[in-house]
């Protein structure tokens, strides 16, 4: 009898260990996700600060200077203010749709960060469809915008939501065609569309191996349509303040408005990260004949250092690229709605189709 | 996806309940806007099911086409309707409802009987023996491409012609 009970106890303790292991596994799964979310949030704060400083420079103002050294903490102060503000809900609007809308918009953009490689094979989910996951996920965001536009029971919000949905649907097609013409080469080299393989395919010849030189037309089309997807200034019709007060965000205040604000900057960050991955060689050092892994050896410390260098290079390229969208904001005037749709359907779509045709024929010839 | 058994089961039950709730919402909610949004929920849950069963390409296509295009178009159309018209002539039970429910219940029962009668293991093993050689060399999306340009070439072309006809028709209607 005594032996039996001890046996049962050992079995019980063993199963407890197993369940503990599972719990640890789940926590271990959550750890990289939380790290990524924290990193992205800091990245967004940096973009907000950069935008304020660069706009101030372009307009010959001083910009933020009191919150922290050089005004670094300005974005944090703005966020705190939005958190503490009163949360207004329109009385005749649809409360449920009004509250769900912003969270759908933010979540769908946060999900697309999971396929971005920040360093050498440092990616949250190395899916075989890679970039297409981003395109598929980012097509959910207009549902959230439509929801908030309808839920606030306001003509301006409604029109803004409809404009946002029409714009993002029509500019998604050239974007997908550009990504397709890049991934044709990657499919031939390594049989998958994963973002890691796209970066690896550009790793030879350093700076000259970038997809930017292979796909110059695709790069320009991608740049324009990603600006339109982010609703940045030449294309910010959904929130045009002269026509619609603030578009779909008119009725929002407090942290829900903050969510839309964060979502627009998250979208800007993710699209410039994808420009880095797709066209600018990702985490590679990009100086010909110097390879980072060979510099730091194969031991563990060298590997960690190499990864850190990779993250630094990716972020440096991304933030250097971000100067273009921020400077565009203060350079170009806003388009009209018909000009926007003409540009999308009559100019970008045929050009990106032609680019795809060119790429396909060159792939066939080189086979 | 390579998940451990309890997490996989949990996700399966979670997605399944989301799917059933969304489907009930599409049918039962009186406001058509809510129905359109719960249709979106159903489509998202279906694509997550595809991800859970390792077919990423189908999942991405489902999200892109059904949620990103078709569901947004449905919401567009429903939003332009006047919501209050619907409550006025809202009878609880009509003849049409009776016929529809009869058809739906008979379809449901026949589906249940066929699902329980079919020997799924036999089908899986016969198809897997054919595909096992293909699967080793090429990825999932490439297989779809190969099948589209060999076995299913004629249906593919016919569908593209139908889409072209619809496109030309829409342009012709819009120009008048």
Instruction: Give the pLDDT score at B129.
Output: 57
Determine the distance in angstroms separating the CA of A264 from the nearest CA of chain B, rounded to an integer: 19
**Under an 8 Å CB criterion, which residues of B touch A?**
4, 6-7, 33, 37, 40, 44, 47, 56-57, 59-61, 63-64, 67-69, 71-72, 75-76, 79, 138-142
- A165 Cβ under 8 Å from any chain B Cβ: yes
B68, B74, B171: which to substitute to probe chain A, counting the most A Cβ within 10 Å?
A: B68
* B4 contacts in chain A (CB < 8 Å): 22, 25
Q: Note whether B141 contacts A193, CB cutoff 8 Å.
A: yes
Q: Note whether B60 contacts A129, CB cutoff 8 Å.
A: yes
The answer as to whether B35 is a domain residue is yes
User: How far apart (Å, rounded) are the C-alpha atoms in residues A133 and A194?
Assistant: 10
- A171 Cβ under 8 Å from any chain B Cβ: no
* B44 contacts in chain A (CB < 8 Å): 140
The answer as to whether B107 is a domain residue is no
Helical residues (DSSP H) of chain A, grouped into ranges? 2-58, 74-84, 95-111, 131-138, 141-151, 155-190, 195-201, 211-214, 216-230, 254-279, 292-295, 300-329, 337-342, 349-366
- Mapped to the 3 state alphabet, what secondary structure does chain B carry? CCCCHHHHHHHHHHHHHHHHHHHHHHHHCCCHHHHHHHHHHHHHHHHHHHHHCCCHHHHHHHHHHHHHHHHHHHHHHHHCCCCCHHHHCCCCCCHHHHHHHHHHHHHHHHHHHHHHHCCHHHHHHHHHHHHHHHHHHCCHHHHHHHHHHCCCHHHHHHHHHHHHHHHHHHHHHHHC
Nearest alpha-carbon partner for A156 in A253, A240, A260, A254: A240
Size of interface A-B (CB pairs under 8 A): 74
Average pLDDT over residues B35-56: 87
User: How far apart (Å, rounded) are the C-alpha atoms in residues A109 and A112?
Assistant: 5
- Residue in A25, A139, A192 closest to B64 by CB: A139
Instruction: Give the pLDDT score at B162.
Output: 93
* pLDDT band (50, 70, 90) for residue B29: confident
Least-confidence region, from A87-91, B61-65, B164-168: A87-91
Least-confidence region, from A243-247, A251-255, B8-12, B63-67: A243-247
Q: Which of B59, B80, B101 is where one domain is finished?
A: B80
- Residue in A135, A143, A176 closest to B67 by CB: A143
Q: Which of B80, B104, B130 is where one domain is finished?
A: B80
Average pLDDT over residues B63-83: 82
Q: N- to C-terminal Cα distance for chain B?
A: 51
* B57 contacts in chain A (CB < 8 Å): 128-129, 132
Q: Which CATH number covers residue B27?
A: 1.20.120.1200
> Does the CA dihedral A268-A283-A135-A279 come out positive or negative?
positive
User: For residue B146, how many other CB atoms are within 10 A of its CB?
Assistant: 12
Determine the distance in angstroms separating the CA of A278 from the nearest CA of chain B, rounded to an integer: 19
Instruction: Give the pLDDT score at B161.
Output: 93
The answer as to whether B110 is a domain residue is no
The total of structural domains in chain B comes to 2
A122: phi then psi, degrees, rounded to nearest 5: -95, 85
Instruction: Give the pLDDT score at A1.
Output: 43
**Is the confidence at residue B9, as pLDDT, over 60?**
yes
Q: Note whether A169 contacts B140, CB cutoff 8 Å.
A: no
User: How far apart (Å, rounded) are the C-alpha atoms in residues B157 and B167?
Assistant: 15
Is residue A105 within 8 A of residue A145, CB to CB? The reply is: yes
* A129 contacts in chain B (CB < 8 Å): 56-57, 60, 141
The answer as to whether B164 is a domain residue is yes
Is residue B68 within 8 A of residue B76, CB to CB? The reply is: no
* pLDDT band (50, 70, 90) for residue B2: low
Instruction: Give the pLDDT score at A141.
Output: 86
| Residue range(s) defining the domain that contains residue B67 | 6-80
B37, B50, B171: which to substitute to probe chain A, counting the most A Cβ within 10 Å?
A: B37
B39, B139, B140, B142: which to substitute to probe chain A, counting the most A Cβ within 10 Å?
A: B139
* pLDDT band (50, 70, 90) for residue B110: very high
Average pLDDT over residues B14-18: 90
Q: Note whether A127 contacts B57, CB cutoff 8 Å.
A: no
- Each residue's pLDDT, cut to its tens digit, for chain A (367 residues) gives 445 555 555 555 556 666 777 778 778 878 888 888 888 888 888 888 888 888 888 888 887 878 778 778 888 888 888 888 888 888 887 888 888 888 888 998 888 888 888 877 777 777 777 788 888 888 888 888 888 888 888 888 888 888 888 888 888 889 989 988 888 887 777 777 788 888 888 877 777 778 888 888 989 999 999 888 888 878 887 777 777 777 788 888 888 888 888 888 999 999 999 998 888 887 877 676 665 555 555 667 777 777 888 888 888 889 999 989 888 888 888 888 888 888 888 899 999 999 999 988 888 887 5
The answer as to whether B136 is a domain residue is no
Quote the mean pLDDT of chain B: 81
Q: Which of B80, B102, B121 is where one domain is finished?
A: B80
- ipTM of the prediction greater than 0.90, yes or no: no
Determine the distance in angstroms separating the CA of A92 from the nearest CA of chain B, rounded to an integer: 14
The answer as to whether B112 is a domain residue is no
Instruction: Give the pLDDT score at A5.
Output: 56
State the angle between helix axes of A300-329 and A2-58 in degrees (0 to 180), rounded to the nearest 10.
40
Contacts of A170 (CB under 8 A, 6+ apart): A341, A344, A345
What is the tens place of the pLDDT at every residue in A200-237? 888 777 777 788 888 889 899 999 998 888 888 788 87
Instruction: Give the pLDDT score at A17.
Output: 65
Instruction: Give the pLDDT score at A254.
Output: 81
Contact residues, A window 192-221, toward B, CB-based 8 Å cutoff: 192-193
* pLDDT band (50, 70, 90) for residue B165: very high
Structure tokens at A357: 């045709």
Determine the distance in angstroms separating the CA of B152 from the nearest CA of chain A, rounded to an integer: 22
Q: Note whether A129 contacts B56, CB cutoff 8 Å.
A: yes
């Amino acid at each position: 009898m005594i032996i039996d009970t001890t046996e049962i106890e050992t079995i019980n303790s063993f199963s407890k260990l197993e369940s503990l292991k599972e719990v640890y596994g789940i926590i271990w799964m959550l750890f990289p996700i939380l790290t990524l979310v924290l990193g992205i949030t800091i990245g967004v704060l940096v973009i907000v600060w950069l935008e304020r400083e660069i706009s101030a420079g372009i307009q010959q103002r001083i910009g933020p200077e009191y919150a922290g050294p050089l005004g670094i903490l300005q974005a944090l102060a703005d966020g705190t203010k939005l958190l503490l503000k009163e949360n207004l809900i329109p009385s005749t609007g649809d409360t449920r749709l009004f509250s769900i809308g912003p969270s759908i918009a933010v979540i769908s953009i946060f999900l697309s960060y999971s396929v971005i490689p920040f360093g050498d094979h440092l990616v949250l989910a190395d899916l075989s469809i890679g970039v297409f996951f981003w395109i598929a996920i980012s097509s959910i965001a207009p549902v959230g915008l439509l929801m908030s536009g309808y839920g606030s029971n306001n003509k301006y919000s409604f029109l803004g939501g409809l404009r946002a949905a029409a714009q993002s649907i029509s500019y998604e097609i050239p974007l997908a065609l550009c990504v397709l013409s890049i991934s044709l080469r990657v499919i031939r080299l390594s049989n998958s569309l994963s973002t890691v393989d796209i970066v690896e395919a550009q790793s030879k010849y350093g700076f000259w191996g970038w997809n930017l030189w292979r796909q110059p037309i695709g790069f320009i089309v991608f740049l324009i349509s990603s600006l339109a997807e982010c609703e940045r200034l030449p294309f910010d019709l959904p929130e045009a303040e002269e026509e619609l007060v603030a578009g779909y965000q008119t009725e929002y205040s407090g942290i829900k408005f903050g969510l839309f604000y964060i979502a627009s900057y998250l979208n800007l960050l993710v699209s410039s990260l994808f420009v880095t991955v797709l066209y600018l060689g990702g985490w590679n050092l990009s100086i010909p004949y110097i390879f980072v892994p060979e510099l730091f050896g194969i031991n563990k410390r060298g590997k960690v250092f190499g990864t850190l260098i990779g993250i630094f290079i990716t972020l440096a390229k991304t933030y250097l690229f971000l100067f273009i969208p921020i400077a565009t904001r203060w350079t170009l005037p806003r388009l009209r709605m018909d000009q926007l749709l003409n540009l999308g359907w009559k100019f970008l779509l045929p050009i990106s189709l032609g680019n795809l045709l060119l790429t396909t024929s060159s792939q066939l010839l080189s086979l | 996806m390579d998940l451990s058994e309890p997490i996989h089961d949990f996700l399966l039950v979670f997605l399944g309940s989301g799917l059933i709730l969304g489907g009930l919402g599409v049918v039962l909610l009186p406001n058509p806007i809510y129905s359109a949004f719960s249709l979106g929920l159903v489509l998202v849950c279906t694509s997550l099911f595809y991800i859970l069963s390792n077919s990423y390409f189908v999942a991405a296509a489902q999200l892109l086409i059904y949620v990103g295009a078709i569901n947004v178009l449905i919401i567009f159309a429903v939003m332009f309707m006047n919501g209050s018209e619907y409550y006025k002539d809202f009878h609880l039970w009509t003849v049409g409802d009776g016929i529809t429910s009869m058809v739906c219940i008979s379809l449901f029962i026949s589906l249940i009987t066929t699902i329980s009668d079919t020997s799924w293991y036999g089908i899986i093993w016969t198809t897997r023996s054919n595909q096992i050689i293909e699967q080793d060399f090429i990825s999932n999306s490439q297989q779809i491409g190969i099948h589209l340009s060999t076995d299913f070439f004629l249906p593919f072309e016919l569908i593209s012609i139908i889409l072209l006809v619809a496109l030309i028709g829409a342009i012709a209607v819009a120009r008048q």
